């Protein structure tokens, strides 16, 4: 029998004591984390702080739709007062079968500044897709924010993956230095990329938000605050001079490359096609904001030659001016202003190649980095070759083709980087062509809407364009443009101008302005214009069929049958019913599109609450389809044309019947069958 010796009891006691000490140490280490975890839990229970998820259930439609979280930007902005919110574009929680879901990522240009709403390129694209694919559901969700840069692109790219994107459109880069977290921004985080990633992750915690709020209440010296008379542009700039190839300049390029690589790698691995637009900015019509100061000791003679060049320009002596600026540029070649003058003078000498080169230099040497340097476009192009699912959308080339001497200026860009309405339409066309080329868009079943048809039909009003103009005029009064006095007045006379001014300065909402225009147009019985307003509201509220129904009715009153048909088809897609189906097949038959009418007629027969006798209509419709097929072999057969006209007449489609009667009488004015039917049509 084994007996425990005395020293064994001592050993066990020592071991037990060591275990207790270890447990105490572990508890001591974990206790602060337990306290922090409990505090975090309590803050969440009492709904303190912000949920920074990218999407939230749409208020009022929580069971069906998601929408961009207006607090999502707070993860990236250190200063909550200047944080921005984006669009309110709903998309379904359960993606419809056959739906094509496209997310749009970027900054102020991508969201459509200064027009927003239907001025943005993605709304132009949506309008065109509505017309080219009226039976197909497209969800284009723009989650762009003003004042951000590639950090949000990287973050949002990861966050959208669970929501089944079919494609992602990206346009970003101009804010890389002064957007939130930018290398030259007041709203930046010092440290290496992993430190920044850690801080962004910590900002999701309610405890971190509480600490941030306490710090802001106490106040941090030197922290810019909104409402002190400065624009967001001015509030976010820390380094007004970032020379080319300086350390901050290189850091901005590196971070853009790293963030975009991170985003594209994630999307590439998920098999999501990405379409990235290269960047455009004004060159011809924008003198550089700030040129780097030139050291007179290191570069003697530069200032003298530069000033003499300016003096020669004032005298109108372009030859002497060019000589002086060339001499100055030979002494120091990285002066933005000098390169800009040489660009102008080269164009005057009809040397557009040299002019473009100088203007490119002027942009790249502008040390106030509100315009992305060309190196950013180089990075975009390189990334598109690195990732097989990333496709370059050459917006820059499109803008250059539509610009005088292929140098971009105010014919397409409003100030420094934001396109005008024509510019946004060109952006939309560039993305549309790229989507079509890569097979994201299915083949159009009907005649595709051309670019010119899109620009002619897009439901934009004078209020939209004027409101944008007023915003830009106000922007240019402030730093860094400083064009005009802040006390300058704008002459406002017409009601349209009054509404635009009210929208621009947030005295009324865009929706209220549209409703007032709608009321004015309906009182004047201008059904076409009223229909366009309803169509504009439908683009803004793409889950609401009522706007499309009203637009369809108004276009019908204006005898714009094609536009009415598109609106009712879009509404049917959202909320199918018998009346819409009946309206669609009637309009389609009036446009002589029996193949288009058939599925809606079949739906109406299957859901015939009004007990209408529609089977004879279907029989005549099938007869017309067979006759039209026979016509392809005998296009000049007047007998077949008469039979089509007669079938249309018997089904009650007098518009279609009249169309064919006129075709016959143009060929044979005394055709007995056509003349007989024509007389019958006159009696109806």
* CA separation for the pair 591, 447 (Å, rounded): 13
pLDDT at 113 over 70: yes
pTM, entire model: 0.92
Tens-place pLDDT, residues 540-593: 999 999 999 999 999 999 999 999 999 999 999 999 999 999 999 999 999 999
Q: Which of the four pLDDT bands, split at 50, 70 and 90, describes residue 10?
A: low
Instruction: Give Cβ neighbours of residue 448 (< 8 Å, ≥ 6 apart).
Output: 132
Tens-place pLDDT, residues 487-533: 556 678 899 999 999 999 999 999 999 999 999 999 999 999 999 99
Structure-token match 């083709």, residue found: 401
* CA separation for the pair 126, 535 (Å, rounded): 12
**Cis, bond preceding 151 (omega within 30 deg of 0):** no
What percent of the chain stands above pLDDT 90?
A: 81
Q: Report, as an integer, the average pLDDT of 594-607.
A: 97
Residue 637: both structure tokens together: 């057969």
pLDDT at 7 over 70: no
Tens-place pLDDT, residues 227-279: 555 788 888 999 999 999 999 999 999 999 999 999 999 999 999 999 999 99
- The total number of residues shown for the chain amounts to 684
pLDDT at 32 over 90: no
Q: Report, as an integer, the average pLDDT of 145-155.
A: 96
> Which one, of 145, 121, 173, 115, lies nearest residue 232 by Cα?
145
Beta strands in 616-673 (DSSP E): none
Q: Which of the four pLDDT bands, split at 50, 70 and 90, describes residue 4?
A: very low
Tens-place pLDDT, residues 603-661: 999 999 888 999 999 999 999 999 999 999 998 899 999 999 999 999 999 999 999 99
Residue 322: both structure tokens together: 């060019």
Q: Which of the four pLDDT bands, split at 50, 70 and 90, describes residue 6?
A: very low
Contact (CB, 8 A) for 170 and 153: yes
């Amino acid at each position: 029998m084994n007996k425990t010796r005395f020293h064994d009891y001592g050993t066990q006691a020592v071991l037990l004591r060591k275990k207790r000490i270890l447990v105490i140490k572990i508890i001591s280490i974990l206790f602060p984390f337990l306290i922090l975890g409990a505090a975090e839990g309590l803050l969440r229970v009492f709904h303190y702080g912000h949920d920074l998820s990218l999407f939230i259930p749409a208020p009022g439609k929580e069971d069906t739709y998601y929408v961009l979280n207006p607090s999502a930007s707070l993860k990236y902005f250190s200063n909550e007062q200047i944080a921005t919110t984006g669009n309110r574009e709903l998309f379904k929680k359960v993606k419809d079968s056959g739906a094509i879901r496209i997310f749009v990522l970027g900054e102020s240009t991508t969201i459509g500044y200064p027009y927003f709403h239907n001025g943005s390129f993605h709304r132009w694209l949506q309008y065109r897709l509505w017309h080219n694919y009226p039976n197909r559901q497209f969800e284009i969700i723009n989650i762009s924010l003003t004042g951000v840069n590639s950090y949000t692109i990287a973050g949002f790219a990861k966050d959208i993956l669970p929501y089944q994107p079919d494609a992602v459109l990206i346009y970003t880069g101009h804010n890389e230095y002064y957007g939130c977290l930018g290398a030259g921004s007041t709203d930046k985080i010092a440290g290496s990329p992993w430190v920044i990633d850690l801080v962004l992750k910590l900002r999701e915690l309610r405890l971190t938000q509480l600490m941030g709020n306490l710090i802001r209440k106490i106040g941090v010296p030197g922290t810019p605050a909104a409402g002190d008379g400065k624009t967001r542009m001015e509030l976010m700039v820390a380094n007004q001079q970032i020379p080319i190839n300086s350390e901050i300049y290189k850091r901005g390029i590196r971070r853009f490359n790293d963030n975009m690589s991170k985003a594209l790698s994630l999307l590439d691995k998920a098999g999501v096609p990405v379409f990235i637009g290269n960047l455009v900015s004004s060159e011809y019509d924008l003198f550089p904001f700030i040129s780097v100061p030139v050291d007179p000791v290191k570069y003697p003679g530069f200032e003298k030659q530069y000033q003499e060049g300016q003096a020669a320009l004032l005298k109108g002596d372009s030859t002497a001016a060019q000589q002086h600026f060339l001499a100055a540029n030979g002494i120091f070649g990285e002066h933005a202003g000098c390169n800009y003058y040489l660009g102008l003078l080269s164009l005057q000498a009809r040397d557009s190649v040299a002019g473009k080169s100088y203007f490119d230099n002027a942009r790249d040497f502008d040390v106030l980095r509100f315009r992305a340097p060309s190196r950013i476009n180089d990075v975009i192009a390189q990334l598109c070759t690195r990732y097989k699912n990333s496709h370059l959308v050459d917006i820059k080339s499109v803008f250059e083709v539509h610009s005088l001497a292929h140098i971009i200026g105010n014919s397409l860009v409003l100030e420094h980087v934001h396109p005008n309405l024509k510019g946004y339409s060109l952006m939309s066309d560039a993305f549309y062509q790229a989507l079509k080329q890569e097979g994201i868009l299915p083949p159009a079943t009907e005649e595709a809407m051309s670019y010119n048809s899109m620009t002619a039909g897009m439901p934009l009003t004078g209020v939209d364009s004027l409101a944008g103009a007023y915003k830009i005029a106000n922007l240019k009064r402030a730093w860094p443009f400083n064009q005009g006095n802040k006390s300058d007045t704008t002459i406002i006379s017409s009601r349209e101008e009054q509404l635009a001014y009210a929208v621009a300065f947030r005295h009324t909402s865009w929706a209220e302005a549209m409703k007032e225009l709608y009321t004015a147009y309906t009182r004047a019985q201008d059904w076409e214009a009223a229909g366009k307003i309803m169509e504009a509201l439908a683009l803004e509220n793409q889950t609401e069929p009522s706007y499309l129904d009203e637009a369809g009715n108004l276009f019908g009153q204006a005898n714009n049958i094609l536009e009415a048909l598109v609106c009712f088809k879009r509404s049917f897609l959202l909320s199918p019913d018998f009346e819409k189906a009946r309206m669609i097949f009637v309009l389609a038959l009036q446009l002589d599109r029996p193949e288009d009418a058939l599925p809606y007629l079949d739906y109406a027969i299957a859901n015939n609450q009004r007990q209408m006798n529609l089977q004879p209509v279907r029989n005549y419709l099938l007869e017309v389809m067979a006759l039209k097929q026979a016509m392809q072999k005998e296009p000049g057969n007047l007998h077949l044309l008469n039979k089509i006209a007669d079938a249309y007449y018997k089904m009650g489609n007098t518009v279609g019947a009249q169309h064919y009667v006129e075709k016959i009488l143009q060929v044979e004015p005394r055709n007995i069958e056509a003349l007989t039917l024509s007389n019958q049509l006159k009696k109806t």
